[in-house]
């Protein structure tokens, strides 16, 4: 059984690793991951659930509805469904590029459309995807509070907000969760955000703990060169020089620690995020069933001081 932890003060007891459904939204949009096989995506979800994962994090923006539809198909006929978390505020614009809206009516429409695609009666956690435009975050947050009051969503949170933005919207309704990017190669959240969230009792689920695939141990220069043109990572600075060389050196250190624990570099990278006391769970993207098992061990992997020194490059 995978280790669990309460998500902030929501009362939700979540597995330390959750199923991330960004990549299964496929390619053909601004932040797509190239072509995906829907049957493989569904098989991956089923494998994760069989292994005890009890929550899925998706968003209306992932493939502009496609990810939610696939999650909905995977949930059909299940005796017991996992918690389903999704997000709003990113709309489909011209050329399948992202448009931002935090207007109340837009968010209410999005919520009803998500519930329909997912085939569920209520969303367990509904999140504002990005605090854009900043001037409208109060209006957007008021809409989420309204949806919670109506019972269409059970808990409400935000993603990619900073401390000041959280303080602003807390005046309207309590912020139950926050979803920041956090990994060995994106550590900004450590400085101010995670300590603040821990003190405030706000639940934290981190995204991209493996740096969008960079820290899995399977990413090489050759593989990056062969990424499909509609895989957004091809344009991301973490996958290009000068950061690429530093990141690949980090992967070598992760591989050394993984060998010691008889696990994968990706599992070590995820476990590194989970060791932060503010973090309740990590969102891990799976696209095929064979990717699931090697990473779930991260939930119970305890890294020693020596491991941490090795990872940080402080030891030989």
Nearest to 153 by CA among 202, 205, 85: 85
Strand residues in 10-74 grouped as ranges (E) = 13-15, 17-20, 55-57
DSSP states of 196-214: HHHHHT-EEEEB-TTTTTT
Q: Which two tokens stand for residue 207?
A: 């995204």
Residue 263 CA to residue 59 CA, distance in Å, equals 30
Q: What is the Cα–Cα distance from 183 to 20, expressed in whole angstroms? A: 15
Virtual torsion, Cα 273, 276, 281, 285, nearest 10 deg: -10
Residue in 102, 113, 21, 15 with CA at minimum distance from that of residue 59: 21
Eight-class DSSP state of 82: P
d(C-alpha 12, C-alpha 146), whole Å:
20
Cα–Cα distances in Å, from 226 out to 81, 105, 120, 148, 214?
A: 37, 42, 38, 44, 14
62 as an active site residue: the answer is yes
Q: Which of 62, 83, 126, 182 is catalytic?
A: 62
Phi and psi at residue 281, to the nearest 5°: -155, 160
Q: Determine the 3-state secondary structure of 161 from DSSP.
A: coil
User: Structure tokens of 204?
Assistant: 């934290």
Query: In the structure encoding, which two tokens stand for residue 29, read together?
Result: 């949009």
CA gap 121, 307 in Å, rounded: 44
4-27 as b/e: b if 16+ CB within 10 A = bbebbebebebbbbbbbbbbbbbb
List residues with catalytic annotation. 62
């Amino acid at each position: 059984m995978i280790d669990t932890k309460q998500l902030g003060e929501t009362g939700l007891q979540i597995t330390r690793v959750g199923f991330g459904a960004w990549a299964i939204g496929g390619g053909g949009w601004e932040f797509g991951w190239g072509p995906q096989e829907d049957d493989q995506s569904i098989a991956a979800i089923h494998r994760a659930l069989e292994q005890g994962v009890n929550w899925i994090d998706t968003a209306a923006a992932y493939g502009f509805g496609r990810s939610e539809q696939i999650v909905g198909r995977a949930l059909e006929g299940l005796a017991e469904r996992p918690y389903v978390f999704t997000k709003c505020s990113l709309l489909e614009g011209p050329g399948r590029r992202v448009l931002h809206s935090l207007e109340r009516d837009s968010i209410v429409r999005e919520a009803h459309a998500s519930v329909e695609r997912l085939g569920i009666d209520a969303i367990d956690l509904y999140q504002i995807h990005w605090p854009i435009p900043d001037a409208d975050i109060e209006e957007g947050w008021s809409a989420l509070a309204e949806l919670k009051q109506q019972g269409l969503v059970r808990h409400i949170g935000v993603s990619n907000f900073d401390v000041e933005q959280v303080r602003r919207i807390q005046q309207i309704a309590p912020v139950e969760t926050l979803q920041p990017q956090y990994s060995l190669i994106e550590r900004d959240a450590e400085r101010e955000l995670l300590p603040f969230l821990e003190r405030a009792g706000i639940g934290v689920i981190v995204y991209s703990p493996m740096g969008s695939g960079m820290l899995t141990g399977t990413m090489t220069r050759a593989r990056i060169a062969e990424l499909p043109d509609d895989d957004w990572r091809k344009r991301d600075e973490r996958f290009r020089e000068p950061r690429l060389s530093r990141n690949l050196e980090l992967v070598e250190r992760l591989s050394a620690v993984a060998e010691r624990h008889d696990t994968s570099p990706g599992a070590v990278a995820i476990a590194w995020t989970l060791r932060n006391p503010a973090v309740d769970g990590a969102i891990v993207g799976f696209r095929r069933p064979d990717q699931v098992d090697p990473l779930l061990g991260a939930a119970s992997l305890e890294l020693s001081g020596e491991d941490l020194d090795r990872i940080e490059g402080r030891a030989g």
